Amino acid sequence: MKKHQWLESERDIVRRDYDGTNQSALMIASKLGVTLCAVKGQVQVLGISQQKSPPWSESEIEKLSELIHAYSITTIAKMLHRSINSVKIKATRLKLGLRVRDRWFTKKDVCEILGVGHKKVQGYIDRGELKASWHTERKPQKNGMAMWHIKTGDLREFIERNASDFQGRNVDLATVVWLLNGGIE
């Protein structure tokens, strides 16, 4: 597919009609005969992307602090009616841990912490080197959503036994140090 060459008159339509919603972007795409992605690309180039999210209230911050250790960022975003990015940024600015879910981690979390791929972590689990259980406490059916539940203490023990296996530049050192210094039990 040939890349669309934008005319200044088309950019003027984007400037005039884009209001930060997908619906307005779709309308512009239809009017100009381009894809939604093309319109969103121009929105970014023109610097007119959606405005910042509304300020966080004290009650939202309090709720975020309570929920961050029990739910995923995506779930919290839905609960607070905020974007995923907004929740991530606020949690980071408040120095709230994004990965800790009340004393456990997912396989994806462990991959990010250790700086290795999911197949390597799955190998550790399959060989019994890293203790993990199904999040639902039973193996999901074929095509089911499988989430590993890895306890903080089990991850700490694994890191202590296998510390020499990890490359320093890929490891999330802050989390590893936190784990080795006690973390949450």
Q: Taking a C-beta distance cutoff of 8 angstroms, is the pair 152, 183 a contact?
A: yes
Total tally of structural domains belonging to the chain:
3
Percent of the chain with pLDDT over 90: 20
d(CA 112, CA 102): 18
Nearest-angstrom CA–CA distance, 106 and 80: 22
Looking at 93, 117, 151, which one is the last position of a domain?
93
Shared domain for 116 and 169, answered yes or no, is yes
What pLDDT score does 98 carry? 61
Mean pLDDT value across the chain? 81
For residue 140, is it within any domain?
yes
Report pLDDT for 32.
Answer: 93
Whether 52 maps to a domain, the answer reads: no
| Nearest-angstrom CA–CA distance, 106 and 182 | 19
Alpha-carbon dihedral sign for residues 75, 80, 86, 90: negative
| Segment (H or E) for 127 | none
- Predicted confidence (pLDDT) at residue 62 exceeds the cutoff of 50: yes
130, 114 Cβ separation under 8 angstroms: no
Residue 109 sits in the same domain as residue 174: yes
**Residue 126 shares a structural domain with residue 85:** no
Residue 73 lies in a domain: yes
Which tokens is 182 given? 């006690």
**The domain spanning residue 170 has which CATH number?**
1.10.1660
Range of the structural domain that residue 29 is part of:
8-46
More confident residue, 90 or 49: 90
pLDDT value, residue 92: 81
- Say yes or no: 67 and 131 in one domain: no
* DSSP assignment string, 4-22: P---HHHHHHHHHH--SSH
Q: Are residues 33 and 70 in the same domain?
A: no
